[in-house]
Amino acid sequence: MNKIGVLTSGGDAPGMNATVMAVAKSAAYYNMPLVGIKHGYNGLLRKSSSLFDDMEELHLDTVLDIADRPGTYLRTARCMEFMDPAWRQIAADTLRAMGIEGLVVIGGDGSFHGAEYLCQLGIPCIGIPGTIDNDLPYTEMTLGYDTAVNVCVDAVRAIRATSRSHDRPHVVEVMGRHCGDIALTTAVSTGAEIVLVPEVEWRIEDVAKRLNQQIAKGNTRTTIVVAEGCWESMEPFDMFTFLNSHGKKCYAGEPISSMRLASILKRMCGMIEARSTVIGYTQRGAEPTARDSAFAFEAGNLAVRLLKDGISNQVIGMKEGKVFYMAIDEALQAKRSFNRYLYDLVNTI
């Protein structure tokens, strides 16, 4: 194999640049020219007026400067056109026209489906799991997850300090889409007393009960870590009636949120205050931790070696602490398991 390409796709994740750097170093080592595709799969669709908006030859001296930077130098996007076979054919044709004989795709499950389609069109692809969500069950870790958790842990520790000073509970919302791993690991690592995740059904009344138990024990600074997807598994609750009858204005049809949960709990538990913080995009925009950077380095190198050796249609992951690879289709079929034991431990002791 001669020339290869690399792209980042989906939500950006800390460690994406470090992976591109590792791919570039390895490509240079094996004398394989490298092209960076911009804006995820969009860079292959020939929609821009300038080629430089879509792709760029990646030289080591450019890439060495970006390794520890947050974000993704190549830019990223979720490419809806890739749902359509006609656009996928255009992407494959573009790769052939550019003489790109293999592609490294750094992204989440949607990006891996895109890589699988390209493989079916004869383009060898290797996927590297780049998402903070840790929602790819075939691998023990995804790139960016460790960094996101560390950002959340720092934030929760700071929030617990101010909660302690004011004797008030705090709802902290973290990302993760439909996956509660960021929330659970953050809760476990910070001593949070309550965690709510999409994987386990829950009721507001039970959260209030647990909070009241904490207050009765003298703990007035309970931290409730909630995954952004936890509202999916919440038993329906008439927030409109409850808040309006407790002196807080609420609009019909308004969705539940962390802020609203704090308001409801404050009223259910007769507290003076309860506050909320949404940690948000700081989880994605942080510098990668050593763990993420080290995974990026190994994964990037392995991806290039696989392409060089004519092995494709694979994704790279981590199993028992070691970097490994497996077929994309099998990886995408892997079933998620949630650590219910840790979840129960946080919510019980």
Residues that bind ligand F6P in the complex, under the rule CB under 6 A: 11, 108, 131-133, 175-177, 228, 284
Closer residue to ligand F6P in complex, CB, 260/284: 284
The answer to whether the beta carbons of residues 173 and 204 sit under 8 Å apart is: no
Closer residue to ligand F6P in complex, CB, 176/300: 176
Closer residue to ligand F6P in complex, CB, 111/293: 111
Closest distance to ligand F6P from the beta carbon of 173 (Å): 11
Closest distance to ligand F6P from the beta carbon of 288 (Å): 15
By the 10 Å C-beta count (0-12 exposed, 13-18 middle, 19+ buried), 320 is classed as exposed
The full DSSP string for 269-326 is: TT-S--EEEE-GGGGTSSPPPHHHHHHHHHHHHHHHHHHHTT--SEEEEEETTEEEEE
Closer residue to ligand F6P in complex, CB, 17/222: 17
The full DSSP string for 96-142 is: HHTT---EEEEE-HHHHHHHHHHHHTT--EEEEEB-TT---TTSS--
Q: What is the DSSP letter of 7?
A: E
Strand order in the sheet with 55-57: 55-57, 34-37, 4-8, 103-107, 125-129, 314-319, 322-327
For tokens 């790819």, name the residue. Answer: 136
Closest distance to ligand F6P from the beta carbon of 187 (Å): 17
Closer residue to ligand F6P in complex, CB, 240/281: 281
**Active-site residue numbers?**
133
Closest distance to ligand F6P from the beta carbon of 135 (Å): 8
For tokens 């101010």, name the residue. Answer: 162
Q: What is the DSSP letter of 335?
A: P
Closest distance to ligand F6P from the beta carbon of 276 (Å): 18
Residue closest to ligand F6P when measured from CB atoms: 11
